[in-house]
Amino acid sequence: MKSYGTRIVQSAFAIGVVLAAAACEPDTGSGPTVVSTPPDSTPSACAAATIVKDLKIDEWQRDAEATVTDCNGEWAFISWDSPGDNARIVYRAASKWADYVRFPHDRCWSEASAAGAPATLQKYFQSC
């Protein structure tokens, strides 16, 4: 099978192998375009362990399990499986995760939106 960059010379066998073994995306051109994916060992920006590693957390939170939701890679909601208010809205600043607000909070959605928070996080803010 010949390969020229990311284009693969078409043949029924080659297309079958590529579709079965790699993440492919059909192209309107002469054949499929192979889409490279990051290695499995690369942590996701939204992984709880990745976010927790960057945050300043209390000692008791180190043994609690963190759950991340509504994450887009730049903003996220994170909470721990422990009693009390421990949720936070976090964002990426200088390639690290940082607190935007800790719950409970009184920050208005208009302020968070102006700071770049995505609409998926609006439910966590007041509409003042």
Predicted confidence (pLDDT) per residue in 94-128, tens digit? 899 999 999 999 999 999 999 999 999 999 999 88
- 4 pLDDT more than 60: no
Q: Which residue has the higher pLDDT, 68 or 42?
A: 68
Looking at residue 90, its pLDDT comes to 98
Neighbours of 61 (CB within 10 A): 16
Give, as one character, the DSSP assignment of residue 48. Answer: H
* Pairwise CA distance, residues 34 & 32, whole Å: 6
Smallest Cα–Cα separation from 66: which of 97, 20, 111, 32? 97
Looking at residue 44, its pLDDT comes to 87
Predicted confidence (pLDDT) per residue in 45-101, tens digit? 999 999 999 999 988 888 899 999 999 999 999 999 998 899 999 999 989 999 999
Ranges of beta strands (E only) in 1-128 are 3-4, 7-8, 24-25, 33-34, 66-69, 75-80, 88-93, 96-102
Are 76 and 70 contacting, i.e. CB atoms less than 8 angstroms apart? yes
Looking at residue 69, its pLDDT comes to 94
